[in-house]
Amino acid sequence: MASFRFTPTIRLDVQPSDLANFDALHDLLLALNDPYAAGGDLTQHIERIPLLRARLLRTARLKTGHLDMTELGRALAMLGNKGLEIELLQLLEDMTIAKADLGS
């Protein structure tokens, strides 16, 4: 019989507190445009954006089947630049919508 380990629920939706991360997102975008930026640089920027980190880990876990993955660097290596781009663009869209909803 398979054994299941309890995993706490990780929040993946945008909350008003996440809107404070626009500066960190801007810094990440600058790093992505830097041809000399290494994977470690990107990891440091992403660590400043908890929601992006959680979404990247979720996607890497689902794509690889390694449901216990917790290392961001490993997740980025598995997803590649395209995977990072997809998650980043979706997060930016979700944050833009959340900001507009708060303004109305």
Distance CA 39, CA 75 (A): 11
Q: How far is CA 42 from the centre of its chain?
A: 11
Per-domain residue ranges of the chain: 18-103
Query: 42 with 71: CB under 8 angstroms?
Result: no
Distance CA 80, CA 65 (A): 16
**pLDDT in single tens digits along all 104 residues of the chain:** 444 454 556 788 999 999 998 899 999 999 988 888 877 889 999 999 999 999 999 999 999 998 888 999 999 999 998 999 999 999 999 999 999 998 85
Helix axes 39-47, 22-32, angle to 10 degrees: 170
> Global pTM?
0.85
